[in-house]
Structure 1
Amino acid sequence: MSRTRCCRAARILALVYVAAMAAGGFAAGAHGPSPVDPLLSGLAQPGLNILYVFVLMPLVALLGDFGEGAGEAVGTALACGLGAAVNVLLLRTLMCFARAVGAELPACRKRRTPLR
């Protein structure tokens, strides 16, 4: 029962993180350059880099660059929100991997042959 409660709390926390990053990105993009921009990009960093390299750069290579437009606030909100979502997925993958390794450790210790 406590694992379900923990999973629900983790999901809510992840959703709040992604929504806060998207709202912060929208607000920062709407007001122009501000001292909050480095904070937002720092909080979305690993996911934002993965998003740029594997999604945005190939799209620009295929479709070309459309330049800066009036939708900078929406673009910043999408970048921050999607970067945060990728961070959540990276953390979930790491936790699943750690659980799988933890589940296999007792079986590995049991199969080990003693040293002579």
Structure 2
Amino acid sequence: MKFRNVFNLLIISFLLLVTTHTADAQEGSVTINQDSKIPKLLTLKKSLEKDNKLTDGYTIQLYYGELNKANSVIRKYRGIYGAWPASIEYETPNYKVWVGSFATRLEADRALVEIQDNFSSAFILKPNK
């Protein structure tokens, strides 16, 4: 019986020692030193992704042809929709109106269903960079 009490006392002492030691090990501080150019680079990356310059995703083409008509189409699009960015891309000698930067085909298909209500000739493409 005395041995059992001593054994229990040793186990409890050991557990207290371990939990106290573990609690001390949880304290600390972290110092991060980063180059001042990193926030600028992140901002640039975000703007390039927004303009569909970095991704290999999908986009929707609304128009292919002359500049005046492309400007008209993009103005009409921006007046109706605001969820996806639109841009005019130049491919000699024609202009294209591209909408959105979709990571998956499913996202592009969902957007196309909405857009085709007003732009029946719209279609999905995967631009070659």
TM superposition score normalised by structure 2 = 0.24
TM superposition score normalised by structure 1 = 0.27
Structure number with greater CO (CA < 8 Å, separation at least 6) is: 1
Point out the structure with max Rg over C-alpha.
2
Looking at secondary structure, tell me which structure has more strand per residue. Answer: 2
